[in-house]
Structure 1
Amino acid sequence: MFKKIILLLVIVAIATTSCKEDFLETKPTDAISSNDALATAENMALILNGLHRLLYAQSQTLLSGGDSYRSGNQYWVPLGDNLAGGVIHTASANNLGWQDETRWISHNQETSRTTKQLWYQRYHIVASANAIINKAAEGTIPEDAKMKEIIGQAYTYRAYAYLSLVQHYAKGYLIGNPASDPGVPLLFASKAPFTSEPRSSVQVIYDQCMSDIDAAIGYFEGATARPSGNAYDKSQLNINVAYGLKARIALNMGEWRTAADAAVMARQGYPLMDESDWKSGFNTTLLPEVIWGSNVIGTETTYFRSYFYLMCNTFNGSQNRNNPKIMDKRLYAQIPDTDYRKDMFLKDAPNSNTSASNGMGGWENNTNPLYTTEEEFDAEIDRLASVYGWTSSHNTHPYMHVKMRQKAPGTTDPDDIILMRSSEMYLIEAEAEAMLGNVQAAQDALKPLGEERDSAYDVTIFDTQEKLMEHIKFQRALELWGEGFLYVDKIRWDDEIDHAANGGSGASEGLYQSGFQQDRPSVNDEWVFKIPQEEIDANPNLGPGDQN
């Protein structure tokens, strides 16, 4: 029994901003029954709208027992880069436990907010998807194009949630023994008491993900098309999202051919961004290559719980003013001068923070020969503020990023969360082809992305599988920086974390503590999230021996 799981139908119907106000007004908002919510395709759409909001809302607004310290994917997306050391902190600023994640003292604690809220949020998605899937299976509602769209979204959501769960609460598929490694419990119920199965194997969970996503694609093929032209539209899941998730699932299973083919299908109709779009701030789902993202409703902003609060150096919050986030110096050194992405990482920004963890803040500690006087040092700080819009209270730091920027910099305004882009699909195709030994096919997949970003790009120099994989790792680290992929990438590649190697990343060992160095995931169980102790205590099919 999932102690925290409750059926989302009532809460979803209350929370949605859907135009179906007549449905909402038929009964008091605390009295909408499951039967009503599942009675028609239009009513089921309210459930989906609630799931779209659940992806980014503060948990206490939708989940029983939730609190305000995590706001869904506003936290979970950047966690992938924060935990794996790609996004580097420059000073102490532990709001929301964000620095605890970098120190590896949160995800490996069975009582932490991180382990608990990720688990229950994803299982809420499963339970709500189950409600639609199970109702559709009864055959009482005609499966017209609208209903197929809804069922397709439900299957896609369930695959998405299970993939997230198995990637965090179990050992990586390619670095373990998936047939015997414990995965997570399967849940097919849509009503209390939500009794799950015991922990299934990693293999079973991945198989379920693939089965669900294939079912989703089948339904989407006969479904109404997703509208376009509005940022909210890309909150809805469609066949491209389903193919993109299939590509992710297959990539992490080592099903290379399936991954490559699905990635090609996913990106159809979503052209690569040009330089202007890439440099525009990554703050809207309207960017042309965004396949899926959360359109964060301004009236329901999460303020200091948002993705941009945790990630964006222009956001007006202490997490950013006091602790500018920077790129790994070793990654920056690999970026050619002809690659316009390099412009979004400010190598020569003065270190204005006298509390910086490297002890080099302020003019007195300046070592950058570009600034020969304190006046030049201060003038550059002022110039950067005028260009990027942060306030006079914001600190600057060498290698700080301006990739993610608000539409209204220097404020606490909300912005969209990008969840899937066509660039990722080119990189999945390239990695899959490289792992198959198809050098030419991998080069062909990399070429459009590389040539768009780098005016001197020459893919032919990556002419072996080994060279291709090293280059793909570089491209993923740069192109997808801050978008949450590094944690699962390192697990798939069995790569360690070592901020000291090769001249150092720029991270402080004193600040990072245990997160400064971590051995490879194949030999280090600390990569696996703990199951919430509340779940171990409440679920009759789980016991102390099931804890990671």
Structure 2
Amino acid sequence: MLRKIKISLLVCLSLTIASCSEDYLDTKPTDAISASDALATAENMALILNGLHRLLYAQPQTLISGGDSSRSGNQYWTPLDDNFSGGVIHTAPANNLGWQDETRWQSHTQETSLTTEQLWYQRYHIVASANAIINKATDGSIPEDARLREIIAQAYAYKTYAYFSLITHYAKGYLIGNPATDPGVPLLFASEAPFTSAPRSTVQEIYNQMESDINNAILYFDGATTNSNDKSQLNINMAYGMKARIALSKGDWETAADAAVLARQGFPIMGESDYKSGFNTVDLPEVIWGSKVIGTETTFFRSYFYLMCNTFAGSQNRGNPKIIDKRLYNQIPDSDYRKDLFLEDAPNTNSSASNGQGGFGNDPNYTDRAVFNAKRLEYQNQYGWLSNQNTHPYMHVKFLQKNPGTTDPDDIINMRTSEMYLIEAEALAMLDDVTGAQAALSTLGEARDSAYDATVFNTKATLMEHIKFQRKIELWGEGFLYTDKIRWDEAIDHAANGGSGASVTLYQDGFMQGKPSTNDKWVFKIPQAEIDANPNIGPANQN
């Protein structure tokens, strides 16, 4: 690939396994081990997996050469997909490390941007590391036992996860394109130097590989050891969840529904108190898989909560509180407690607010300064943000730090049960199973809304519109809107139907984008450095 790829161990850069450029010297750091040692035993391979767990959230330059701290794994990639697709609304200019460039569609559309390069590079690092484990662990040189099966299963699941991220960002969506002929991403099989990837495979070929890999993961998880107390470790539920996501994205509705049911077994939907607790821990009962962030691995002003959380002690949120799309908020019934996570009546205290309504006297919701100040203080005391934190109507309090007003790290949730109910409901609706879709929706809806009645959505069309609403509100800020919009072929129009609350001046190109089936800008550019370095990918292969 683009650079020398190294397998991550817990605290080191460990193992060179691939190269197609000479940017980095073949020197062995004192805290690294050789390739043969890293893959010699099941427990050594487990250390490699732990390195991948850390790579999902740690500053990547501490783990792999070529990593950049401003794109710290899923700290950045997860909220990114709700940011530039228009779900999480910015309210003002802010110190952003490129975060508003994403909003303006100025990053993923450039082949030289950190976003296009780092997502590609980090995901292929996962693929290469997983390949190294799989190739060695299945060659017969290490006796297969329950522990080795678990390691192989996790490697297959990680590989699937990385390819799914790559194919959904760097290629046209399966349902809106021609998967048999549309260019996908390169397949990577080798696990030792010298190495260059294959040319770009088709979208269909990548899906075939993902389906094979995730089925292998499920097969190896059967009879494997399990560690149900560590949700950073991938397990069979996560594997079924990935299978459900893949099937949903390609329109394999029956497989999606069946896998989603299996994925959520043993992970009950959380109740109101857990739902309002801040989405800051993988210990919530319905979290199937997430990153348990080590306290010493803080990314400070590069974290998920820095980019998203309105209580974080950072300039990104002090001057730019994140809000929900007002049109979505207005659809939430008063009987639905998820509405409480968005503060419609928060005073607009920011004189730099892009809607021109910041500061008392400009905020049309307040005519009494004492009431304006009291409401600001009320929310400050309730949620624990600092006194210099600006507020804004419709700001969210979904993501809350365990220690508000600090830069302390918090966990990242990658998969939870509610998503699986929504996958099942959408898949059954597309199969014209109205009753089945209603049943799946009822389980989730009744847990969130005291007046919920799924039977009023009694056609495929009304069910699908309601499922879209449920996904947008239930999974808000969790990184699903980008792939949802591609699957549903939805455009971005912040001005339609009364407006989202976004400013055209602030959002620029991100304010309006045509639907993905007719707009190639939804597809990420391949990094120019990859095209320059990889003899199997030339300028003609650029998206």
Task: Please name the residue that 2:49 is paired with.
Answer: 48
Q: Does 1:494 align with 2:489?
A: yes
Q: Tell me what 1:179 maps to.
A: 180
- The one of 359, 362, 365 aligned to 1:365: 362
Q: Secondary structure at the match of 2:289?
A: strand
Give the counterpart letter for 1:97 in structure 2. G
Quick one: distance in 1 between partners of 2:356 and 2:29? 59
Question: Contact conserved, 2:13 with 2:32, CA < 8 A, in 1?
Answer: no
CA distance in 2, matches of 1:217, 1:165: 21
2:244 corresponds in structure 1 to 247
Runs of at least 4 residues off by over 4 Å? none
Q: SS of 2:290's equivalent? A: strand
Match in the other structure for 1:225: 226
Write the letter of the residue equivalent to 1:121. Q
For the pair 1:263 / 2:260, whether they are aligned, the reply is yes
Equivalents in 1 of 2:256, 2:381: separation in Å?
A: 44
Which residue of 2 is the match for residue 132 of structure 1? 133
1:22 corresponds in structure 2 to: none
Structure 2, unmatched stretches of 5+, are: 15-27
Instruction: Name the SS for the 1:84 alignment partner.
Output: coil
**Secondary structure of the corresponding residue to residue 330 of structure 1:** helix
2:309 corresponding residue in structure 1? 312
The letter for the 2-side match of 1:14 is C
Q: Find the counterpart in structure 2 of residue 19 from structure 1.
A: none
8 A contact 2:308–2:399 mirrored in 1: yes
Report the secondary structure of 1:184's partner residue.
Answer: strand
The residue number in structure 2 matching 1:436 is 431
* Paired residue type of 1:240: N
Following the alignment from structure 1 to structure 2, what is the Cα–Cα distance between the partners of residues 35 and 428? 42
C-alpha contact (below 8 Å) 2:13/2:31 kept by paired residues:
no
Instruction: Give the aligned partner of residue 482 of structure 1.
Output: 477
Is the helix fraction higher in 1 or 2?
1
After superposition, the Cα gap between the structure-2 partners of 1:190 and 1:342, relative to the gap in structure 1 and judged at 3 Å, is: same
Is the CA contact (8 Å cut-off) linking 2:311 and 2:404 kept in structure 1?
Answer: yes
- Deviations along 1:15-34, one digit per CA (max 9) or x if unpaired, are 79xxxxxxxxxx97445111
Whole-angstrom distance in 2 between the partners of 1:523 and 1:28: 49
Cα 1:31–1:516 shift into 2, 3 Å: closer
Offset from partner CA, 1:455-489 (integer Å, 9 cap, x none): 00000000000000000000000000000000000
| 2:108–2:524 CA contact under 8 A, matched in 1 | yes
Structure 2 contact 12–63 (Cα < 8 Å) conserved: no
Report the secondary structure of 1:105's partner residue.
coil
Structure 2 residue aligned with 1:23: none
**Alpha-carbon shift at residue 94 of structure 1 (Å):** 4.2
Is 1:426 matched with 2:421?
Answer: yes
2:337 to 332, 335, 340: 340
Give 1:506 deviation, angstroms.
0.2
Q: Residues 31 and 471 of structure 1: is their aligned pair in 2 closer, same or farther, counting only changes over 3 Å?
A: closer
Deviation at 1:5, TM superposition (A): 3.5
Aligned to 1:36: 37
**Aligned counterpart, 2:91:** 90
Report if aligned partners of 2:12, 2:32 keep a CA contact under 8 Å in 1. no
Contact residue 282 and residue 405 of structure 1 kept, 8 A: yes
Q: Does 1:322 align with 2:319?
A: yes
Supply the AA of the counterpart residue of 2:37.
Answer: D
**Residue 507 of structure 1 pairs with residue 506 of structure 2:** no
Between the aligned partners of 1:471 and 1:454, the Cα distance in structure 2 is 14
Cα offset, 1:216, TM superposition:
0.1
Letter paired with 1:285:
V
Q: CA deviation at 1:96?
A: 1.2
Report deviation, 1:58.
Answer: 1.2
Where does residue 59 of structure 1 map in the other structure? 60
Report the Cα distance in structure 2 between the residues aligned to 1:406 and 1:90, rounded to whole angstroms: 21
**Number of aligned residues:** 530
Partner residue of 1:278 out of 272, 275, 279:
275
Tell me how far apart the structure 2 counterparts of residues 442 and 117 of structure 1 sit (CA, whole Å).
38
Structure 1 distance, partners of 2:182, 2:2, is: 24
The residue that corresponds to 1:534 in the other structure is: 529
Give the CA deviation at 1:3. Answer: 2.6
Find the residue that maps to 2:414 and give its secondary structure. strand
Match of 1:8 in 2: 7
Q: Is the 8 A contact 1:14 1:29 kept in 2?
A: no
After TM superposition, give the deviation of residue 64 of structure 1 in Å: 1.4
The CA distance in 2 between the partners of 1:344 and 1:194, in whole Å, is: 49
Shift of 1:158: 0.2
- Where 1:190 maps in the other structure, the secondary structure is coil
Show the counterpart of 1:238.
Answer: 235
Deviations 1:338-371 (Å, cap 9, x if unpaired)?
Answer: 0000001000100000000000001111211xx4
Identity %: 74
CA RMSD across the alignment: 1.2
The two structures have a TM-score, normalised by structure 2, of: 0.96
> How far is the alpha carbon of 1:250 from its aligned partner?
0.3
SS in 1 for 2:413: strand
**Does structure 2 retain, via aligned residues, the 8 Å contact 1:70–1:96?**
no
Which whole-Å CA distance do the structure 2 matches of 1:180 and 1:493 have between them? 21
The answer on whether the counterparts of 1:94 and 1:100 sit within 8 Å (CA) in structure 2 is no
Residues of 2 paired with 1:401 and 1:455: CA distance?
21
Amino acid at match of 1:467: T
Match of 1:20?
none
Contact preservation (8 Å) 1:87, 1:326: yes
SS in 2 for 1:390: coil
How far apart are 1:13 and its partner, in Å?
A: 5.6
After superposition, the Cα gap between the structure-2 partners of 1:30 and 1:220, relative to the gap in structure 1 and judged at 3 Å, is same
Match of 1:24 in 2: none
**Alpha-carbon distance in structure 2 between the residues aligned to 1:374 and 1:274:** 37
Contact kept, 8 Å, 2:153 with 2:218, in 1: the verdict is yes
Distance in 2, matches of 1:472 and 1:168, equals 23
1:331 & 1:36 partners in 2: Cα distance? 53
Q: Is the 8 A contact 1:7 1:191 kept in 2?
A: no
Secondary structure at the aligned position of 2:122 is classed as helix
**Residues in 2 aligned to 1:539 and 1:364: alpha-carbon distance in whole angstroms:** 58
Offset from partner CA, 1:166-197 (integer Å, 9 cap, x none): 00000000000000000000001111233111
Paired AA for residue 254 in structure 2: R
- Which letter does structure 2 place at the counterpart of 1:184? V
In 1, the alpha carbon distance for the partners of 2:531 and 2:29 equals 36
Q: Name the SS of the counterpart of 2:361 in structure 1.
A: helix
Contact 2:13 2:29 in 1 (8 A): no
- Measured against aligned partners, the alpha-carbon deviations of 1:310-359 in whole angstroms (never above 9, x if no partner) come to 00000000000000000000000000000000001000100000000000
Give the Cα separation in 2 of the matches to 1:130 and 1:199.
18
Give TM-score scaled by structure 1 length: 0.95
| Contact 1:15/1:50 (8 A) holds in 2 | no
| Residues 81-137 of structure 1: per-residue CA shift (max 9 Å, x gap) | 001000000000142100000100100100000000000000000000000000022
Aligned match of 1:402: 397
Q: Distance in 2 between matches of 1:15 and 1:235?
A: 20
Q: Mapping of 1:100-179 within 5 angstroms? A: 100-179=101-180
